[in-house]
Structure 1
Amino acid sequence: MIRQTLSPDRRVFLAGATALAGASVFGAVQAAEGDLNLFVGTYSSDAAKGIYPLIYTSATDSWTLGAALPAIENVSFGAYSPVSQHYYLLNEKDEGRIGIYDKAWNKTYEVSSQGASPCYAALDQSGGYLAVANYSSGNVVVYKIGAEGGLEQPPANRQNAGSGPNKARQEGPHAHWVQFHGDYIYSVDLGTDQVLGYSFDATTGAVGQAFEAYHAPGGAGPRHLIFHKDGVHAYLVTELSNTVIVLKAAKDGRFEATQTITTLPEGFKGESFCAHIALNAAGDRLYASNRGHNSIAVFSVAADGRLEPIQVSPTLGNWPRFFAVYEDHKRLVVAHQNSNDLVIFEIKSDGTLAPKDQKIAVSTPVFIGVSA
């Protein structure tokens, strides 16, 4: 049975969120050892100026939000390579760009994403290759990272084709997620209801042609996927059908579905769209966010990979596009794109969520990353 967590009657305030002035704020705001040193990506507008530093101080259970780096635009996603010691930040626009920044947030390079609306980036295990999913153009590109942190040209470029039954959202391919996994790169295409696989040779950087690793039910609109540490199971969250599909891996790199479960509470009839998905380190709790219902569904994960719903927690904001799990600090941070805030939750010992009465004002937050 799903337990519906009730939203407490409470005042909304900024909990330990301090707006700092000054161009060098990223150098001035630093996390102490054992604290969280984060950054928040936003869609640029008159209110949202770029990326913002965010520090969590565990000793005082407080959060400090710094002033923006306004030169960095539309950061829909980002990745940091400890090998090259550079950030790779996606500028989600029609002519997609990848901004490359050193540890001090100095821009060192900028290249084309070779597509439109880049929305997800991932590094391989060696930190030597970067993969990017371009949503609007429906292609995935893979770059070799050069000795000085730049992206070597030309990248491998894999263009998908096709459409789905939802004519409003699936008129063409929409690559929404990409990740390296073993000897493969996988991407999720919302527009064609597919998980695609590509062979990958980490020694040479060779990327194979696409094969269909899994085809979701028509109109499901898969968005993100996460692999379980057991090496056998993966979990696919579907934006348009509000479900998590449990997948079991085969030796040929393909998957078969073993379970499909809703992320919404029984009886809900409104409009909602899934967004992000995450597993805890133990692999026994899974989280998925619902935009519209504005909640995070929490599931227990059995040894055979099956999911059991244990909570649907209101996120106390509007449109939870992204969230980040910080188990060492027992915290989960939700980024609400439409209510312009971050909301903090405590992760209880059973993996369920409890609101912390901490809300931080940030305009159109869409991503949270870890700073070097």
Structure 2
Amino acid sequence: MSPSPAGWYPDADGTMRYWDGLAWTDGPAPASGANGRSTTLPVPQVNHTMMLSLGPTASQLAAQAGAYAAGSADDDALTFTSTPRDDRPWFQRKRFIVPGALGAVVVVALLLTGGGDDTPPASPIAAPATTRPAATTTSDPTPSEVPTVTESSPTPTATPTTEATATIDQGAPPLRGTYDAAFGTFERFTVKGHGDGVVDLPSGVMAALVRASHQGEGRFSVQVLDANNQRTSDLLVDVAGGYTGTTAYGFTDFGAAPTKLQITAAGDWTVTVSPMGSAPRFDGSASGTGDRVFRYDGAASSLRIRYRGDSGVSVVQIGQGYPDVLLNHDGGYSGTVPMSAGPSIITIRTGGEWTLRKV
């Protein structure tokens, strides 16, 4: 439907109001002149751009102005007024704001409803539709014996010179730790014999414990040999008569790798070779008689040493560097010496009674 042409139209109460083709003017018609008509009619300010699509043509405006003038052209001049042009930005005008708001509401509604798709979204992880059987409670079965598997190791042999007999007793697996990584590890073994003999040492092991015992008269010695059967500086035992003690090889000789133990004896003897990691740990106090070896894992401290005996006593600590002689004394002794932090090995070489205590 096309809009009504611009012009003056009576209101319900008979008041004349001007229609500019788009909206009513606020004020009524001006006062009448002598001939009962308005002396001045508003002349609309025609927006030619808007007229192309919305406003009346120029001929229509002229015809309407002539109808209301109804008289001489010399009467008061015709003046047309129109509603002031809306200079607000386009986004502030109602005809843009209202449709835009309605469009935004429609977009939000579509997003909330998933664009009209009634299919529910798939779960990112589909749980398998499996049915678990009911648990059945039974009495615990009697555990079966699990055979112990030990690593194979070279079989040590004893080569006595006089009526020597040797037997090998495989022991429990040794402890593992920092000491095994530093000195090497293997399965502990024991060799028994009578008279002179030779015991093969584990290959590739640079240091280990040797516990020896001898029953009988005469000399008893345990000497370490290299691959050429030459003596090293490790003379572990050299006594007359009976003996029981624990020593260690590999700390005083820095030449060729040790390969054998040469046993010199007139009676029965027993030798057990164990990894350094199996040495008992020194926790702050220890006492005993004869040769012993400990591992120490604590902090630097002071060590109180007491010794009762007529022979000499030697206490050595072997850490990351060269062996540190804590004590080397003949006869009885009582005193305090400094001790380095572990991990380290502590050896005691003596024939009498001794006591160690960390202070």
TM-score, structure 2 normalization: 0.24
Q: Which is richer in helix? A: 2
Q: Larger RCO: Structure 1 or Structure 2 (Cα < 8 Å, ≥ 6 residues apart)? A: 1
Q: What TM-score, normalized to structure 1?
A: 0.23
